[in-house]
Structures are given as structure tokens and as C-alpha cells.
Amino acid sequence: MSDAVGSRTLVVKIGSSSVTAADGRVDTEAIDKLAGEVAQARAAGHRVVVVTSGAIAAGWTSLSEGRPRPSDLATLQAVAAVGQHLLMRVWSDALGRHGLAAGQVLLAPLDFVHRSQYLHARQTLGRLLELGVVPVVNENDAVADEEIRFGDNDRLAALVAHLVSAGLLVLLTDTAGLLTGDPRHEADASLIEEVVEIDHELEAIAGGPGTAVGSGGMGSKLAAAKIAVWSGIEAVIADAARPGVLASVAAGAPGVGTRFRPREVVLPARKLWIAFAIGASGSIVVDAGARQALVERGRSLLPAGIVSVRGDFGADDAVELIGPDGSVFAKGLVRHGADDVAGWAGLRSEDLPEDVAAEVVHRDDLVVLG
């Protein structure tokens, strides 16, 4: 699925705040605008995948009669089932006016965790693009068995960008990009135009959720940008309402959003899943020597370096690794359950039961996040 010379595969995500009008209904004008820009990108030789939010907002508006939006999972799933086809109809009509066919693709976190499902999803998206279709992707909220949101689809969009080997991830929102502060409280907050490395200071600036209709916020978009750049994909956070925003971003125009440069050393697919697609079921605190061995020498985690265990995880679950300073520095798949790991903490390998694998987290299942 490599791109032709002079063109790229673009994954464009637009959030609930940008596709929802003030009354909560789907903003057909906003979708028409983006559909026109998708058509321009296609005419310029790019292939485009759209990741859209708005199903729950669309569904609840059609059912609510002005009542407050629900928060329980069962109702949100039912509302998503009502809203998804309403949202898709708007996208299909908008793209159709430009002679483009839309193909609905509903994904869930497990599609990125299980190898066979991952390959099927990649094959489907690839064939849609080959057929000239614009895939319109959303999370399969109606049947999701985990928390209803997926980072307001930001993380989903970044994983889709990896799935289709995209050259650019565009996260469209209702602000100019990542700012130096919250513009609601800091009048002199200015746009950060380029980011080379996403660090803790930048994550602190991004903060948390920002709107009532969305579930992400700038922090979610920064996390998505991190997934993209660790996949070797350039990412941009930009204002969905800006005229010609997609063409400007694709052309690398200065001052249009916040641009995140991709890392030279990228994560392979399996480690990307471990780092970003699987939620952590617990954590393991390690000593300084173990942290150094994991980070600097690429070793596996052994019981001797473990200080304590947090959470009730089982074998093959994902866990975060915490250093002596209290910060998370790695994530991996654990080979033993929490009770066993806690009981073996501090033991040398030769002191373990004979039939037990010494590695608590093998280096092949470990991702250093710093």
C-alpha cells in the first residue's frame, strides 16, 4: 500500500465539536466543506481516509427532545446505533456531490490487537482505496464491549494511519492547533507551529477534555500525534473551519496548525499495539538497576528488579512499568499474573520454581516509552 511519487495517503479525523452544530445536530455545512476539500485532495493525487465522530451526538439529537445527554454505556450504545446511519448518510451525500463514493468502516480496539483482525481491516481499507472509494471510519460504538469512547476517535485515527501506511495524519478540531496555554484563560496563548519531540511539558500544556459534545480534547490529540510519529507518520492538528485547511496542511504551508515531525526510528506493528492499542491492566514498580537494564541495554524484566505490583492483572495482560521516580517509562505484556509476580518480587532467577519462565516481561513484548 505504498504511495505513488508525489502523492500520499492522508488520514483526516474530524471531531464531534467540528461536525456538530450548536443545537447538537450534525452540521451538514461543516461536512460539506470537508467533503469538498477531500475531493480537492483526491484531484491532487492523494488517497484519503476520513475518520469521523458524531454518531452519538446525531443519534441523541434525533431522540432526546431536548433532554440532557445520557452517560450510561447501554444507552450510549443504543444512541450510537441510531446516529451512525444518520451521520453516514450526511457523509455519503456530501461526498457524492463531488462524484465520490463513501464506504463505511466501523472498527473497534480489538481490530488492532488481534493479528488476523488487523490484517482483515488493512485489506478492506486498502481495497476501498484501490477502488477509488473514500473510507469513512468510526468506532463501532453500538457493540463495543469496552468504554464507549476511543479518545474521541483521535487514537483510532492514528492507528488507522498506521494501518494504511499513511504519509500524513490530520486531526481537525475547533482551535488553530496546539497552543502555549488555554486560550479560555490565557489571552496571550500562541500557536506552537512545530513539535520535534513530544515530552511531559508538552503533554501538560495539552491538558484534558475541552467540549461537552466531544470526549477527547487537546490531550487526546497529542496522544494520537504521538502514536503517528512513533509510526513514522507526520501529524498535524489544525482548525477544521479554516478555508482550504486540508490542502494547506498537505502542502506543508507554514502557520497552519501544529505540525509533528515523525521519528526516524519507528515502532513495528506489534510494539505499536502494545504501546497504544491495549489498555494497561496494572503496573509494576522496578528499581533503578532494572530500569537501566530495560532502557539502556534492552533486557527483559526479571523478578530481581521488581519492587512492588499494582493492580490485578493476569498473564498476557498489558502492564505499565514505573521507575523509582514514580514515572511510567515502559509498557509490556506480562507473562505471569499479579499474585505470582508480587510473590517473586526481588528473587533471583535461580530461586524461582523450576517450571517458571524467568522473564516477567520479555524484551520482545516490551516498549520503552521515553
Q: How confident is residue 199, by pLDDT bands cut at 50, 70 and 90?
A: confident
pLDDT at residue 363 above 90?
yes
Instruction: Compute CA distances 362 → 53, 118, 281, 318, 333, whole Å.
Output: 37, 23, 17, 12, 8
Per residue in 233-277, pLDDT tens? 999 999 999 999 999 999 999 999 999 999 887 888 788 888 887
Look at strands 258-260 and 194-195 and give their pairing.
parallel
Q: How confident is residue 144, by pLDDT bands cut at 50, 70 and 90?
A: low
Considering the domain 9-271 in this protein, what is its CATH number? Answer: 3.40.1160.10
Residue 134, all three cell numbers = 473514500
pLDDT mean over 102-119: 84
9-271 with 279-368: one CATH topology? no
With contact defined as beta carbons under 8 Å apart, do 90 and 55 qualify? Answer: no
Residue 86, all three cell numbers = 444518520
CATH architecture designation of domain 279-368: Roll (2.30)
pLDDT mean over 57-75: 82
With contact defined as beta carbons under 8 Å apart, do 50 and 135 qualify? Answer: yes
Residue 126, all three cell numbers = 486498502
pLDDT mean over 22-49: 93
The phi and psi torsions of 182 (rounded to 5 degrees) equal: -75, 115
Q: How far apart are CA 225 and CA 223, in angstroms?
A: 5
Q: How far apart are CA 206 and CA 179, in angstroms?
A: 8
Q: How far apart are CA 367 and CA 280, in angstroms?
A: 13
Please tell me the predicted confidence (pLDDT) of residue 366.
95
For 105: left if phi > 0, alpha if psi spans -120 to 50, otherwise beta; the answer is beta
- Considering only the C-alpha atoms of the chain, give the largest distance between any 2 of them, rounded to a whole number of Å: 70
User: DSSP E strands: which ranges in the chain?
Assistant: 9-14, 47-52, 102-107, 134-139, 168-173, 194-195, 234-239, 258-260, 282-286, 306-310, 318-322, 328-333, 366-368
CA 38 to chain centre: 21
Q: How far apart are CA 83 and CA 79, in angstroms?
A: 6
Q: How confident is residue 294, by pLDDT bands cut at 50, 70 and 90?
A: very high
Please tell me the predicted confidence (pLDDT) of residue 152.
63
Helices (H), 53-103: 55-64, 73-96
pLDDT at residue 149 above 50?
no
Q: How far apart are CA 259 and CA 236, in angstroms?
A: 4
pLDDT at residue 143 above 60?
yes
Q: How confident is residue 66, by pLDDT bands cut at 50, 70 and 90?
A: confident
Domain ranges of the chain: 9-271, 279-368
Q: How confident is residue 22, by pLDDT bands cut at 50, 70 and 90?
A: confident
Q: How far apart are CA 302 and CA 362, in angstroms?
A: 9
For the entire predicted model, the pTM comes to 0.83
Query: Quick one: which of 136, 200, 165 has its CA closest to 272?
Result: 165
Q: How confident is residue 300, by pLDDT bands cut at 50, 70 and 90?
A: very high
